[in-house]
Structure 1
């Protein structure tokens, strides 16, 4: 499939224009690739495992790797975007010293989960580090990692990372899901910013970013089918583009999208000519580094939302693509 091919001929519902979805996602991937190529979000040459501020560069590397790994997994991008995804994740892997940085961080910090979660994105795309996998498998047999007091959707993130890598026993997914905010299906008007993100990430990990839609318990799927379009409308009115994008990923992870074309048109209209999609209606900083810091996550969301939606609508298989 070429990057400019008209996707509207696919089996998507008539109200969803897949060419809009594809363009928004493709331009976001190009912006993300360019930004990383220009050095934004780069770990310094003297970076160690004991990062004083992991969110400064370590987290953006993981988010870029996640987006690239899903582009490669779902296989709905054209040749140009597929090449960019390969180059992006390869660059991230290199910056992590081909996994050595993750290995050393996990070796010295037993209960940290970020090395495991970050490594899963690379493993999905065929990048493997055997000593790290052996270490993760050994740690999965200990009580301490599971005793760490983290919020329920974070436990799902750890469980899904272990599932991708093949490290550790199969958890009780139903029990893990029931402990989340979404598992209780609270009154829909009780949502606030943080709980919306809790809901989206619960869906991401239960379904492995759309690869396992059956992983979402039926009562949670029914609740989302009813309220997701309402929440999208609310956050569209607020102009929270980043959060709207996350909700559209949820929409695709559940199966056939139900939110219609309107949110996609809003997000596409908000996107800048260079591919940057602002996180909200606030002015974008003139400084390129600040603009990257503020809007990098929204680019990742755009790439994932478009990729998973296209994969669902076009019926592609979710198979790993070797590096």
Structure 2
């Protein structure tokens, strides 16, 4: 990573965190959080994504970093929204076989915020055949296995088996990449690396495949102004044992910075605000609807934090050589869009 890349990523991260702090209350759980007909994607999902990003960032920046109080404050806010974990126990009683409560809880548990009663209850449900046999797409199953591990629940499956059934795990033809596959592959890498805690979870064949094909996929998404997916791909780039070429990252961060509004918000898709790209929304305090920019703004923070963080101690000096790309054609899988990849994500 060059100093130019680090500076650009840091500026994007600082501005995005400013926007997230200013809109913290939009992540709050409403009265419908426990309703039978509640919209999970509009309640628990945003909160879980906030928790996951803040948990990762707080673990990757040094204690002296001036951004730490902001990140810690957002994480504490999210934990308080759950009644310090008590709401997970109530959700367990209402929806015992739903996996999203455990997936959200795992984000907090990874930061050391735990609720012993919920973990004990979740462990009981996880021992049932009903839990083990819940039908899920492979990427989602990979996430649930990781959530179980982080929450102290014995995993109900093996990572290696779930991985090889995912789109990325099959090393598909690169021209079959499209939006749904892109969101699926980014989440596979997030799960394999424990959301940025290690780069050694990506198998060598997948690392080689991504190192080769991630740059053109990233360029395609940036050209299409798919900022949300571009942020996720930048997070993947920062999660690999060997980073893509510095020129690729510098160009990507420059283009992403141009898409960032002066408020710090980044739209999921569409308009940009630098002088070379007009027209766009008029500058203002609320340039986008919250649902149209909160996830991409969070992912910008996540990608920037991984890009600028010092190497992890477990990975420092132990970088594995990337083998030659081995081509293994396989049939592509259909995946749901980002909202179907689980909570958080």
2: distance between equivalents of 1:132 and 1:46? 20
- Among 18, 37, 41, the alignment partner of 2:6 is 18
Alignment of 1:1-323 (within 5 A): 12-13=1-2, 17-36=5-24, 39-45=25-31, 47-48=33-34, 50-76=36-62, 79-169=65-155, 171-258=157-244, 259-282=248-271, 283=280, 288=286, 291-311=289-309, 314-317=310-313
Unaligned runs of 5+ in 2: 272-279, 315-345
1:74, 1:317 within 8 Å by CA — same for their partners in 2? Answer: no
Q: Give the TM-score of the pair, scaled to structure 1.
A: 0.87
Q: Say if 1:274 and 1:172 are closer, same or farther in 2 by CA, change over 3 A.
A: same
* Runs of at least 4 residues off by over 6 Å: none
Aligned length: 302
Quote the offset at 1:309 in angstroms.
1.6
RMSD value, Cα: 2.2
1:249, 1:309 within 8 Å by CA — same for their partners in 2? Answer: yes
2:225, 2:269 within 8 Å by CA — same for their partners in 1? Answer: yes
Q: Give the TM-score of the pair, scaled to structure 2.
A: 0.82
1: distance between equivalents of 2:53 and 2:181? 23
Unaligned runs of 5+ in 1: 1-11, 319-323
